[in-house]
């Protein structure tokens, strides 16, 4: 009766958020006196899958059907449900993502499971099975008592601090029965954001707004991001003006991020932008307007011209 963890791939590699989910799931397994099993769908090398053991998985079930190489919420729900039934699983763990959102509701329906999303702490087993979740874009918390026989926990990204060991997981092929009904929605093509560090997985983010005055000035943002090994982001007006690609837009209608550090340069701090970033552990705001609304939500604020402050921060970061 192992804890089952759905581990999501990105171009054949375990995503950082999935590493967090595996580590969390292994901790839950220890609390329940059982082991942790990861389920991986799609093409990946055994050497990569074995890395799941470094985060606590004892075993990896690998579903290699080529139909599963493209993310598909319906088919993935069928496969994970079959794995849960084979393993006698009572707890399923996964990292919250767009794919997970499409899959977990279907999975909960198939297994008649209780579901908690944006989970940020290990469960409290003293009086049942209670988990703490982040709600209202990080402005509040909810405590969920899951009473169903099977529980599904969707972990909020960048919440779980992992620890690695030298262990490796054993790998088993998993060949569930797939039906045509699982593929009534066909993925024709996938367009992915490019860059060394992608926003959903980033620990550090350097973001900027219209205070940069134009796309030709974005070099100072990229220089700081490169010095910090951070991802770059922007406000909605910037992406609407085509100064930056839309996959860099963070906010209520863009990507929601929760990095360890979010640096906002030349962004006023409209409520729609805050909704996408207020789960960040530390927010640093740089703006020449001392009355900019963003300062009210900042952990640290610098009143100054971004064209003066950003190069200074880059120089300091490069000196570290």
Tens of pLDDT, residue by residue over 6-22, are: 999 988 899 999 999 99
What pLDDT sits at residue 196? 62
Mean pLDDT of 194-219: 88
| pLDDT over 80 (residue 189) | no
Tokens of 244: 């930056």
User: Strands, DSSP E only, in the chain?
Assistant: 3-6, 9-10, 13-14, 36-41, 59-63, 91-95, 114-119, 130-135, 140-145, 151-155, 170-173, 204-208, 231-234, 261-265, 282-287, 300-303
The pLDDT of residue 187: 66
Q: What is the CATH number of domain 199-318?
A: 3.40.50.1220
Say which CATH superfamily domain 3-183 falls into: HUPs (3.40.50.620)
Q: Give pTM, 2 decimals.
A: 0.82
Q: What is the pLDDT of residues 121-160, one digit of tens each?
A: 999 999 999 999 988 877 789 999 999 999 999 999 888 8
Domain residue ranges in the chain = 3-183, 199-318
Question: How confident is the model at residue 136, as a pLDDT?
Answer: 80
């Amino acid at each position: 009766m192992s804890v089952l963890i759905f581990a999501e791939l990105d171009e054949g590699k375990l995503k950082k958020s999935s590493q967090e989910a595996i580590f969390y799931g292994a901790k839950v397994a220890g609390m329940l006196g059982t082991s942790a099993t990861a389920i991986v769908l799609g093409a990946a090398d055994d050497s990569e899958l074995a890395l799941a053991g470094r985060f606590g998985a004892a075993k990896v079930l690998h579903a290699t059907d080529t139909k599963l190489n493209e993310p598909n919420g319906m088919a993935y729900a069928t496969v994970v449900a079959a794995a849960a039934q084979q393993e006698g699983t009572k707890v399923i763990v996964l990292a919250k993502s767009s794919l997970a959102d499409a899959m977990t509701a279907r999975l909960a329906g198939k297994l008649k499971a209780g579901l908690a999303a944006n989970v940020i702490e290990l469960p409290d087993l003293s009086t049942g099975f209670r988990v703490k979740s982040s709600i209202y874009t990080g402005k509040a918390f909810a405590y969920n008592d899951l009473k169903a026989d099977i529980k599904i926990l969707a972990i909020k990204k960048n919440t779980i601090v992992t620890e690695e060991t030298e262990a490796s997981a054993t790998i088993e092929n998993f060949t569930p029965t797939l039906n045509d009904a699982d593929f009534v929605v066909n993925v024709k093509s996938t367009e992915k954001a490019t860059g060394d560090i992608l926003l959903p997985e980033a620990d550090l983010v350097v973001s900027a707004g219209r205070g940069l005055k134009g796309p030709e000035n974005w070099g100072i943002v990229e220089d700081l991001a490169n010095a910090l090994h951070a991802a770059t982001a922007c406000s909605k007006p910037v992406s609407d003006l085509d100064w930056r690609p839309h996959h860099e837009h963070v906010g209520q209608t863009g990507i929601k991020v929760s990095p360890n550090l979010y640096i906002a340069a030349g962004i006023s701090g409209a409520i729609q932008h805050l909704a996408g970033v207020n789960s960040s552990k530390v927010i640093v705001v740089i703006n020449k307007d001392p009355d900019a609304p963003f300062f009210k939500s900042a952990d640290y604020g610098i009143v100054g011209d971004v064209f003066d402050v950003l190069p200074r921060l880059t120089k300091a970061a490069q000196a570290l």
